[in-house]
Structure formats: C-alpha cells, structure tokens
Structure 1
Amino acid sequence: MKTFMLLLAFTVTDPSGIERDEIVNVLSRHFDTKPECVEFVQDWEDTIRSRGLDAVEDMLKEGYKVDLVHVGCTEKPNLEVLTSKLEEAPFEQVGNEDEMDAQ
C-alpha cells in the first residue's frame, strides 16, 4: 500500500536579499490515501501558509527568509542508501539483505 505525505516546498532568501537556487522540500504528515491528503490540503492550506512560514524560519539562521511556493501531496519517497558502508548510511538500509551481504 502506498503512503502519501504532505509536501511543502520553500525558496530561501539569504540575509543580503538574494534568493538561493535551491528549493527546500519538507515532507510532513502521513496519509493512507491521496484523497485524504488532498482533503487535508484543501482544509488547511491557508493555515499552513500562515503558520508554516514562521515555523520554518525559526529553524534557519537569523536573517534568512523563506517563501512557501507549493503545498501538495506526494508519495512517500524510498530513501535508498547510496553507500556500501552501512556505518555511514544516513537512513535505514532498503533492499534485499542478501545483496547487501554480497557487497
């Protein structure tokens, strides 16, 4: 069964007023179905846009600003580890354990 997540996409402006090239995607809240997620966005988008900006800016260094450019739904990503060194892997190893043992 697929899991869907709330997706918030932000642009970041540095203290000198220059908008950075990167877009920061934040995945929040899990939903069992896409329609549940879409309904949540329809009901809460205004609140997310007003309160979400402050919450994200509080996580940044002083002077940085964010602009919320997208509120939507997406499938939960597969956070596959790209390194063969398990001790350095930032996420749980995904895949066949036999394949990992062979590496």
Structure 2
Amino acid sequence: MLKVVRHHHNNIEEVYPINGIYKVYELDTYELEYSSDSPIVEQNVFLEDILLDYSLFNISQSRIETIKPEYLFIDYFGFASLRINNEIFNFNILIEKLKKMTLKIC
C-alpha cells in the first residue's frame, strides 16, 4: 500500500490514485509511506529508472517512508512510475503554470 501526502504552501493533503494514477505537481514537496504485509525484499526506490537516494528514506522490515517532505518530482513531468519493493505505482506529474508577475525578466 502506498500513501502519498502533498505539502503545498501551508496545506497538507493526501493524494489518492484515480484509475490507478497519482496526480502530483513538480514543485510541491511530498511524503511517501509504503507498507507491506510481507517483509520488504527490495529496499531500492526508483522513480522511472533513477535510484532515489537512500538518505531520503526510513526503511524497516515492512515499511519504507520518507524522513521528511521532499521535492521528489522536481525534474520530471508527464507520466512516470515509482517502483518500491518491486511494486509499480503510476504518477502523472504536472507542471504548475507560472503567473506573469512571478517571472523575473533579466
């Protein structure tokens, strides 16, 4: 089971999959919590084919979770898969539109 929690400004909300796909935003921080009824056999966590740094996670016998909210999707957009304990979870990573006033023109 995977729990995804989005931190956006001062709001915290759980992200639920719709049709098996989690919708997330590139510039938000997220907490992940994966739990399994059986022991964890694969401790590596991959986003697409990139191994995520071990230092981001607490790993126990039946649980893998982020230590704190992280910018996990900052370099991604579009559809991607997250592989935890040989289970694959699908994500749609969206880019938030920038407002014209927030752009700094050099």
TM over 0.5: no
TM score, norm. by length of structure 1 = 0.24
Considering fraction of residues, name the structure with more strand: 2
Higher helix share: 1
